[in-house]
Amino acid sequence: MSVLIVVECDGGEVKKSSLEVASYGSQVAQLLGTTATAVAVGEATEANLAKLGEQGVAKVLYDKEPRLKDFVNGAYTKLIATAAQQEDAKVIVLANSNIGAAVGSRLSVRLQASLATNVVELPKTEGGSFTVKRGAFSGKAFADVKLDGERKIIAVKKNSIEALHEAGKTAEVVSFSAQLTDADFADAPKQVVMQDQAGGILLPEADKVVSGGRGMKGPENWNLIEDLAQALGAATACSKPVSDVDWRPHHEHVGQTGITVSPNLYIACGISGAIQHLAGVNSSKVIVVINKDPEAPFFKAADYGIVGDVFDVLPKLTQAVKELS
């Protein structure tokens, strides 16, 4: 019996959210008095996988099948299910990402496991059952969920678990084959289109986000958002009307009908803070609001605020960040 951790890799590197997942999984293993094994998906290098030791992982299973570079639901599900069976995994931990949700839900049926997504804390264990805390009602509440049965799958929300770093510890990387066949790749993507991300930081993975709304007045002013984001090492985002009128691409739109983010720092510039916008950002650890209207609803959800004109305030903030370093 063990804990199996699914780590997603991209461009050879383990994704930040998977470092969090690895830390979560190894702490669960410790709770249960067992070891943590990871299984890698995506494009990985052995050196980077070995570094998962720093997050408490003992062993990493790695199938070098080149077609696993891109996400293929059928193949990933089989790969992870095979690893789970080989390792007799009673708990599987993965990221609450698009990949994690797609695979985790299939795995739960295949392995007859109970599943909790959007999980924000380590489980409380009692007898054979687990209780995990998960976000619900679009960030407006939490639910404590009891997971029954012999096997459990937990999808961990991004930025909700601190990644462990025990410098110098390495994991053993073991080659592994799930004997994947062509049939397992039937739903392989025909084409993968990566979108330009300002500063190369992926919005769903980012731990700092600078976001602009209609108060930015037009796309020509977005350099103010980008400059601050770049200085901070943050991703950029926007409100829905901004992407609706094509000032910014759809993949930057956060909120109820856009991407949900939970960074450590969310800076909202010229955004009113409508409830649908808040639904996608309200679980951010620290929220900063810049708005010239002191009555803007966003101030109620904010930790820090500046009542002022974004065109005046943003350059000052960027300047102040540059002076820090």
Ligand X SMILES: Cc1cc2nc3c(=O)[nH]c(=O)nc-3n(C[C@H](O)[C@H](O)[C@H](O)COP(=O)(O)OP(=O)(O)OC[C@H]3O[C@@H](n4cnc5c(N)ncnc54)[C@H](O)[C@@H]3O)c2cc1C
List the binding residues for FAD: 214, 270-277, 291
* Residue 114, SS3 per DSSP: strand
167 binds, options ligand X, other proteins, none, Cβ within 5 to 8 A by partner type? none
**Residue 101 binding other proteins, by CB under 8 A:** yes
The rounded distance, in Å, linking the Cα atoms of 236 and 130 is 37
Could you say which of 150, 172, 303, 309 contacts ligand X (CB under 6 A)? 309
Which residues are annotated binding-site positions?
Answer: 214, 270-277, 291
Could you say which of 197, 214, 221, 226 contacts ligand X (CB under 6 A)? 214
* CA distances to 38, 64, 93, 292 from 174, in Å: 10, 11, 19, 57
Classify residue 190 by its DSSP letter.
S
Of residues 110 and 217, the one with the C-beta less far from ligand X? 217
As measured in angstroms, the least distance from the Cβ of 8 to ligand X is 25
* Residue 56 near residue 26, CB atoms below 8 Å: yes
270 binds, options ligand X, other proteins, none, Cβ within 5 to 8 A by partner type? ligand X
The rounded distance, in Å, linking the Cα atoms of 222 and 200 is 16
* CA distances to 30, 43, 45, 50, 168 from 64, in Å: 29, 9, 10, 15, 25
| Secondary structure string (H, E, C) spanning 173-184 | EEECCCCCCHHH
Contact positions with other proteins (CB under 8 A) in 61-80: 70-71, 73-74, 77
Measured at the alpha carbon of residue 178, what is the angle toward residues 33 and 12, in degrees to the nearest 5? 80
Per-residue mark of binding to other proteins, 24-53 (x: CB under 8 A): ------------------------------
| Contacting range for ligand X; rule: CB under 6 A; set: 71-79, 114-122, 173-181, 292-300 | 292-300
CA torsion through residues 41, 53, 32, 205, sign: negative
Biggest CA–CA distance in the chain, Å, is: 61
| Contacting range for other proteins; rule: CB under 8 A; set: 54-62, 86-94, 219-227, 317-325 | 317-325
Could you say which of 232, 237, 238, 269 contacts other proteins (CB under 8 A)? 232
**Residue 213 binding ligand X, by CB under 6 A:** yes
**Residue 303 binding other proteins, by CB under 8 A:** yes
310 binds, options other proteins, ligand X, none, Cβ within 5 to 8 A by partner type? ligand X
Of residues 67 and 250, the one with the C-beta less far from other proteins? 250
Q: What are phi and psi of 200, to 5 degrees?
A: 75, 15
Could you say which of 19, 291, 299, 301 contacts ligand X (CB under 6 A)? 291
As measured in angstroms, the least distance from the Cβ of 293 to other proteins is 13
Per-residue mark of binding to other proteins, 155-194 (x: CB under 8 A): -------------------------------xxxxxxxxx
**Residue 90 binding ligand X, by CB under 6 A:** no
Beta bridge partners of 119: 134, 156
* CA distances to 82, 94, 170, 219, 242 from 85, in Å: 5, 16, 24, 52, 47
* CA distances to 20, 67, 115, 185 from 71, in Å: 20, 9, 21, 10
Residues near ligand X (CB under 6 A) = 213-215, 239-242, 255-258, 270-272, 274, 276-277, 280, 291-293, 296, 309-311
